[in-house]
Chain A
Amino acid sequence: MSRAARATDGDLLTAVVAGDGQAFASFYRRHLPAVVAFLLRETGDREATADLTAEVFAAVFLVARRFRARGAGSARPWVLGIARNKLRESRRRGRIEDRARRRLALEPEILDDEDLLRVDELAAGAELPVLNLVEQLPESQRDAVRSRFVEDRDYDEIARELKCSELVVRQRVSRGLSRLRNQLKEDER
């Protein structure tokens, strides 16, 4: 196993803050498929996914010093949180977020057809066990859990969208989480 492969996410981000480009590359490759898979599923648009992915990792560099590792803990939730924020901001503004790339003065990269196929490949190779399990929940629970934890929305907002009471949303989330916990326990056996 290479040194980069052994390094924790916390180690890599510490090195990134210190100016280690190779550490950034390792971190990027480690989390790229998950970010692409998440964004593709949320947007359904390969070009937007590619564009937002670049934005997410530019932001990772800008806020790397804010990452607080817990032991050898993965930065995956942290990175996906950045992705979720970028996505939300893009939806709110009606255009793809590019603030981090502008701050870094990155050159725009042109996408060709092969790049778009690569988006699909990366998404297919992603390891997102929990998110995949979420997709397997019954529809009502899946929508509630996704809205609450993937999109980070408030219960009242979800209730309005799903046209039910807040109490019902909370019940669905609770049952969905319970089912996920059981599923994860079974997978660990």
Chain B
Amino acid sequence: MSDYFDRVERQIARRVEQGMPRSARRPSAGGYLAVAAGVLVVIVVAGAFLLARGAGGGANPSPAAAPGASVVFSVSPAAPTAVVERAAAILRERLHAAVPGAQVSVQNDRVIVTPPTGHAAVRSQILALAAPGRLTFYDWEGQVLTPNGKTVGSQLPSPSPAVMDISQGNGSAAPGQLGAGCVPLQQALGLAAEAGARHPRRTEYLGRLKLDLPAGYTVLQAASSSPGRPSDGYFVVRGSPALTSTQIVHPKATTAPGTRIPDVEFGFTTRGRHAFQALSARIARRGSELSGPGQTLNQHFAIALDNQLITVPFIDFKQYPDGINGDLGADIAGNLTSRSAKELTILLRYGPLPVNLTAAG
């Protein structure tokens, strides 16, 4: 005899055997957070590319840097030896996971990596893993500025294309992408300087660029719409990130059951769970308040790695009116290769570097 409880048991047991469906594993940047898949693919490819050049050495090994040659990194900003040693220790851990046999040492406040011999692709891996590795989450509309110095969220709904492009994207670009309301670097720096004129200045790094910015303002590089090409568009955000790498735990490179597409899943610390729930709830509430009959204005959050946007997914306020429970963590999905997923996982697992490392040559 089969009663209700037997039928429930069989249904769930069947799901167990099928493996956790992609959409069930984590509230996902590619699933629940409902980024258009095509956009995410492009963004993540861009992210992978940026990872590869994150240390500033360029994606392609220079002719002088043959496989097996040491890679010398200068440190910025200048830091006490103890801080440089800590950066070297983190880099050592990262490399140990991906390039066994690589030696990391500190000499004259430079970090030197000597790779194992006979490993053809090792330089690009070293460069990828020497990226700062700071993952940040922002309330997109709540923090991103338009050229008039106001946040997008404070102006919605709006007939202004500048506002709507940043918030909702347009026919050719999704939010956060090149072409969706971003501006050239000089204009972004001017906007930040003007909006934060009364704030003290500080130095921030964006790849190889050293930026002079008012405290509390960050310039984010737009996600590229052309895989393999860095974007030359920028956004300015005001305020601190809602979540950072330090609130991420247990990152894991994995593949979606069924599709076998590589992705990176992770959980949140207790504080991170609360922050993620609060962030998504705030965004959902704003989406609900701004939307009316016949017009849905979904609101977004942004995920950036080392101030380079990876993805700007929206929160479906109809499905998650109270935000997304962070208990299940999240994942970054898309057209990651198994290698770039592993590299991103390593960056998240060992935490961000306390300084930036720039490869010579």
Contacts of B3 on A, CB cut-off 8 Å? 114-115, 118
Contacts of B14 on A, CB cut-off 8 Å? 21
Contacts of B16 on A, CB cut-off 8 Å? 16, 19-21, 23-24, 61
Measured CB to CB, the nearest residue on chain B to A100 is B24
* Cross-chain contact B8 with A109 (CB below 8 angstroms): yes
Contacts of B184 on A, CB cut-off 8 Å? none
Contacts of B296 on A, CB cut-off 8 Å? none
Q: Count B-side interface residues using an 8 Å CB cutoff.
A: 21
Contacts of A160 on B, CB cut-off 8 Å? none
In the complex, B13 has a CB within 8 A of chain A = yes
Report A131 CB to chain B, min CB distance, Å: 20
* Cross-chain contact A62 with B24 (CB below 8 angstroms): yes
Contact with B along A122-161 (1 / 0, CB 8 A): 1000000000000000000000000000000000000000
* Cross-chain contact A21 with B17 (CB below 8 angstroms): yes
**Which A82-127 residues have C-beta < 8 A from chain B?**
103-107, 109-112, 114-115, 118, 122
Partner-contacting stretch, out of A3-11, A51-59, A166-174, A179-187: A51-59
* Cross-chain contact A24 with B13 (CB below 8 angstroms): yes
Taking residues whose C-beta sits less than 8 angstroms from the other chain, chain A's interface range is: 20 to 34
Contacts of A19 on B, CB cut-off 8 Å? 16-19
Which of B18, B19, B328: most chain A CB closer than 10 A? B328
In the complex, B260 has a CB within 8 A of chain A = no
Contacts of B328 on A, CB cut-off 8 Å? 62-63
Report A91 CB to chain B, min CB distance, Å: 14
In the complex, A66 has a CB within 8 A of chain B = yes
Which of A22, A29, A106: most chain B CB closer than 10 A? A106
* Cross-chain contact A25 with B8 (CB below 8 angstroms): no
**Which A34-49 residues have C-beta < 8 A from chain B?**
36
Contacts of B96 on A, CB cut-off 8 Å? none
Measured CB to CB, the nearest residue on chain A to B27 is A103
Main secondary structure on A side of the interface with B: helix
* Cross-chain contact B20 with A62 (CB below 8 angstroms): yes
* Cross-chain contact A54 with B8 (CB below 8 angstroms): yes
In the complex, B15 has a CB within 8 A of chain A = yes
* Cross-chain contact A29 with B11 (CB below 8 angstroms): no
* Cross-chain contact A66 with B327 (CB below 8 angstroms): yes
Report A89 CB to chain B, min CB distance, Å: 9
From A25, A105, A114, give the contact of B21 (CB < 8 A). Answer: A105
Contacts of B13 on A, CB cut-off 8 Å? 21-22, 24-25, 28
Q: In whole angstroms, what is the CA distance A50 to B15 when docked? A: 19
Contacts of A22 on B, CB cut-off 8 Å? 13
In the complex, A79 has a CB within 8 A of chain B = no
Report A174 CB to chain B, min CB distance, Å: 27
Contacts of A16 on B, CB cut-off 8 Å? 16
Contacts of B327 on A, CB cut-off 8 Å? 63, 66
Contact with A along B1-43 (1 / 0, CB 8 A): 0011101110111111111110110000000000000000000
Contacts of B4 on A, CB cut-off 8 Å? 50, 109-112, 115, 118
Q: In whole angstroms, what is the CA distance A112 to B21 when docked? A: 30
Measured CB to CB, the nearest residue on chain A to B1 is A114
Q: In whole angstroms, what is the CA distance A22 to B13 when docked? A: 7
Contacts of A21 on B, CB cut-off 8 Å? 13-14, 16-17
Interface residues in chain A, defined as those with a beta carbon under 8 Å from any beta carbon in chain B: 16, 19-25, 28-29, 32, 36, 50, 53-54, 57-58, 61-63, 66, 103-107, 109-112, 114-115, 118, 122
Residue pairs across A and B with Cβ atoms less than 8 A apart, 18 shown, are A19-B16, A19-B17, A21-B17, A24-B12, A28-B9, A28-B13, A36-B5, A50-B4, A54-B12, A57-B12, A66-B327, A104-B11, A104-B12, A105-B21, A106-B11, A106-B12, A114-B3, A115-B4
What 4 new A-B contacts, CB under 8 Å, besides A104-B21, A106-B8, A109-B11?
Answer: A19-B16, A24-B12, A50-B5, A66-B327
The 3 closest A-B pairs by CB, nearest first: A21-B13, A115-B4, A21-B17
